[in-house]
Structure 1
Amino acid sequence: MSIKISDKNREATKTGIYTVLTAATAVPVYFGIDTYLNTIGAQHDEALAVAGTIVFFGCVYIGRHLSTIWSARQREIPKNVLNGLAGAIAVCFVWLFIHADFQFRTFPGINLLLYWMPFVTIGLCTGALIKLFRMSTQKELEAARTQAAHSQSELFLLQSQLSPHFLFNTLNNLYGLSISQHEKIPPLILKLSDLLRYSVYEASETYVPLRDELTYIRNYIDFEQLRMGDRLELQTDIEQVGGPDIRIAPMLLIVFIENAFKHSRNTIDSKVFIEMRLKIWGNSILFYLRNSHNRSAQNDQHVEKHSGFGLANVRKRLQLLYPGQHYLVIDNEENTYTVNLRLNLR
C-alpha cells in the first residue's frame, strides 16, 4: 500500500514539475512566435501567437510520447538520432525565415502549409530531442553507476584476498623457522600479531593515511630482519610523513616488499641486499625497491605460482584506484629485481 502511495506521490510531483516548466517556457515561446509573426506581417498576430504556442507545446508532448514508444525497443540511444533531431530543428528554423522572403503569392494555401509543417516539425523534434537526450543521459549515468559498483565490489574482493595471502606466506616462513631456529618464534609471533591487526582492521578502507601504512611496512621489515639476521644487508630511505592528509591504498607497497624478501631469501648467496626508498615529491609518492636474486637459479614456474598472485592483485588495484594516475616499471634482471612506482597523491 505504501509503495502505491509513494508511486502516486512521485507521479504527482513529476506532473507538477512539468506544469511549472511548461508555464515558465510558454511566455518566451509566445513572445518569440509573436515577434516572428510581426516580422512577416501576419494579421491577428496575437491570436496566432496564442494558437502557435498551444500547437507548439502540444507537438512537444506528442514528440516526447512518440520517442518514449520508439526508445522502449532500444538498448541505447544512438548519437546520430540526437544529432539528426537537432539538425532537423535547425533546418526548419532556417526554412521559416527563408520562406518569409520567398512566398507563393498565388497559392496562399501552400504558403500556410509551408509555415505550419516546419513549425509542427520543430515542436515534435524538440519534444523527442528533450526526452531522448534525458533518457540517453540517464542510461549513461546508470551504466557509470553499474561500472562503479562492479569496480567497487571487485576492489573489495581484491582487498579481502590480501590478508589471507599475507598470512599464508608468513605461516610458511614461521614453519621453516620453527624447525631450524625455534628460539626466534616468540618475538616473531608478537610482530605477526601487530601486522595482522593492521591488515584485518585498518586495511579495510579504500585509502588510509600513508604514515599508518609506513608503520606497517616498518613492522614487516623488523619481522623479516628477525628472521634473516646477519644475512640481510638492508638500506632504507623512507621519508617521515607526519599528518594524515597524505593517503594511499592499503597493502599496496607491501606486496613488492614481500616479494623482495622472498626472492632474496631464496638465493644461495651468503649475503642478500634490499634497497628501499620512499619520497613525497610534488604531487606524487615515489617508491623504489631493488633486491638481489638469482633468476636463473629459481624455478620460474614456482615463482609464478606463488608470487604472481600478489603482483597481479596489485596491478588490478592500481587500475581501479589510480586510473591514469600511476606509473609502474618492473625490471627483472639476472641478479637484481627492481620496482619503480609513482602514485598521484589522494
Structure 2
Amino acid sequence: MKSDRKSKLYVHLLFWILYYILEVYLDFYWSRYQFPGEEWQIRLQNTIVLELGYLLIKMPLAYSLLYVYEKTGVKRLISYIIYGCIIVAAVLVHRFFTHFIIYPHIYGVTETLDGKQPSGLINGLVAFNSFMDLIFMAGLIFGVEITRQKNLLKEQISLLKAEKLDQELTMLKAQINPHFLFNTLNNIYGMALKKADETPDVILQLSKVMRYNIYEATEKYISIDKDIENIKDFLQIQQIRHRDLVIRFNEEMDNPSQKISPLILIQFIENAFKHGVSETLGQSFLHIDMKLNKGVLHYHIENSKQEKPHGNSTKIGLKNIRRQLELLYPKHSLTAESTRDRYTVNLIIDFNDSSCF
C-alpha cells in the first residue's frame, strides 16, 4: 500500500512538472503573436505566473474527476452527472480567472475575440476554448493514472505468478526427497540388524545429503559444484546399498560457480535408481556424463533396467522432473530413450538464455 502511494506521488508529480513546462512553452509561443510589442522577458514572466494560476484550477478538477472515477460505489448515470457538474464549475472558474484577472491585471488589456469585440465572461467560443483546455488536461491525467494502475496490476500479477511457481516447485521437490530418505533409512535398519561394517559410513553420507537438502536446497540458485558434491554423496550411499552396481561418473566443468536450481540434476539419478537400477536383476550399471562448456550444460544418464512389457514406471518418474524444468528452464532440451535393458536421458540447459532466470 505504501509503495503504491509512493509510486502514485512520484508519477503524478512528474506529470504536473512536465505538463506545466508544456503549457508555459505553448502560452509563451502564442503570446508573441498576441502581444508582439512586449519584450520576451516580460512575456515569459507573465506566462509563468498565469500558468501557475491555471494549475490551481486544473489540479482540483483533475483529482475531483479521478475521485469520482475510482469510487466504484457510484452508479454510472450519477457519476456522469457529477462529472458534468465538476467540469461546468471548472469552466466557470477558468473563465473568471481569464477574464477578470489574466487580461486586465497581467496583460493590462480587456479580453477580446478579434482584437475589437469584447469577449464577455460567458461567450460560446471562449467558453469552448476553456472547456477544451480543461478536457485536454483531464484526458492526460486519466491516461497517466490508468496506465500507472495497469502497470501496477501487471507487477502484482507477476509477483503472484512467481509465488505460485515457487510454491509449486517446493511441492514438486518435496515429492522426491522423502522417497530417498525412507528407502535409505530402511536400508540402514537392515544393515544395523546385520551389524554391517558400512552402517556408520551410510549414516554419515546420509547426514551430509540431508544437510544439503535442508539448508543448501532452500536457495533459489546455487553453484553447480555444490550440486555435484551432493550427487556424489548420494551415489556413495547407493554404492553401499547396491554392491553389484557399477557407477561411472564423468564431469567436465569450465565454470564450477555456474548457478543452477538445486536438486534438479539429482532427480534424474533418483529416477534411475527408483525405476531402473533397483529393479535390475544381477549386475546393474549407472553411467553419468556431465559437461559444462561456455554456459551450456550437457547432462547424459544411462542406466540398466529390467524389461517390463507393460511397464511405464520411468515415464511416471520423469513427469515430475519435466514439470520442474518447464518452470525453471522453459527452453531446455530433454530427450529420453528406452530399450529392452537400458534407459537413457539427455538434458541440455543453456544458462546463457535469459529466460532461464
TM superposition score normalised by structure 2: 0.67
Is contact 2:277-2:303 (8 Å) kept? no
Residues 115-264 of structure 1 correspond to what in structure 2 (within 5 A)?
A: 115-174=129-188, 182=196, 184-229=198-243, 231-240=244-253, 243=256, 245-264=257-276
One-letter amino acid of the counterpart of residue 158, structure 2: A
Post-superposition shift, 1:257? 0.5
Is contact 1:30-1:53 (8 Å) kept? no
Is contact 1:287-1:340 (8 Å) kept? yes
Is contact 1:67-1:132 (8 Å) kept? no
When structure 1 is superposed on structure 2, of 181-190 and 325-334 the one drifting more is: 181-190
Give the alignment's Cα RMSD to 1 decimal.
4.3
Aligned residue among 19, 24, 28 for 1:30: 24
Aligned mates of 2:6, 2:340 — CA distance in 1: 72
Post-superposition shift, 1:278? 0.5
Aligned mates of 1:311, 1:232 — CA distance in 2: 22
Change (3 A) 1:132 1:57: farther
User: Rg bigger for which structure?
Assistant: 2
Is contact 1:210-1:241 (8 Å) kept? no
Post-superposition shift, 1:253? 1.1
One-letter amino acid of the counterpart of residue 259, structure 2: R
SS in 1 for 2:288: strand
Residues 46-125 of structure 1 correspond to what in structure 2 (within 5 A)?
A: 54-55=53-54, 58-59=57-58, 61-73=60-72, 109-125=123-139
SS in 2 for 1:239: strand
Change (3 A) 1:18 1:274: closer
When structure 1 is superposed on structure 2, of 216-225 and 121-130 the one drifting more is: 216-225
The aligned counterpart of 2:95 is: none
One-letter amino acid of the counterpart of residue 225, structure 2: R
Is contact 2:272-2:303 (8 Å) kept? yes
Is contact 1:62-1:127 (8 Å) kept? no
SS in 2 for 1:253: helix
> Over residues 153-175 of structure 1, what are the superposed CA-to-partner deviations in whole Å (9 max), with x where a residue is unaligned?
44444445554232023234445
SS in 1 for 2:220: coil
When structure 1 is superposed on structure 2, of 10-19 and 175-184 the one drifting more is: 10-19
Is contact 1:60-1:126 (8 Å) kept? no
SS in 2 for 1:195: helix
One-letter amino acid of the counterpart of residue 26, structure 1: Y
Aligned mates of 1:48, 1:289 — CA distance in 2: 76
> Over residues 290-324 of structure 1, what are the superposed CA-to-partner deviations in whole Å (9 max), with x where a residue is unaligned?
22223425754xx37xx84x6444334333433x3
Aligned mates of 2:37, 2:141 — CA distance in 1: 28
One-letter amino acid of the counterpart of residue 249, structure 2: T
The aligned counterpart of 2:336 is: 330
Aligned mates of 1:116, 1:233 — CA distance in 2: 88
The aligned counterpart of 1:90 is: none
Change (3 A) 1:186 1:52: closer
Unaligned runs of 5+ in 1: 1-6, 75-102
> Over residues 216-266 of structure 1, what are the superposed CA-to-partner deviations in whole Å (9 max), with x where a residue is unaligned?
11122222222222x3333322125675x2122111111110121233334
Is contact 1:276-1:288 (8 Å) kept? yes
Change (3 A) 1:20 1:328: closer
The aligned counterpart of 2:302 is: 290
TM superposition score normalised by structure 1: 0.68
SS in 1 for 2:273: helix
How many residue pairs get matched? Answer: 301
> Aligned residues: percent identity?
23
Aligned mates of 1:185, 1:12 — CA distance in 2: 61
The aligned counterpart of 1:315 is: 322
The aligned counterpart of 1:79 is: none
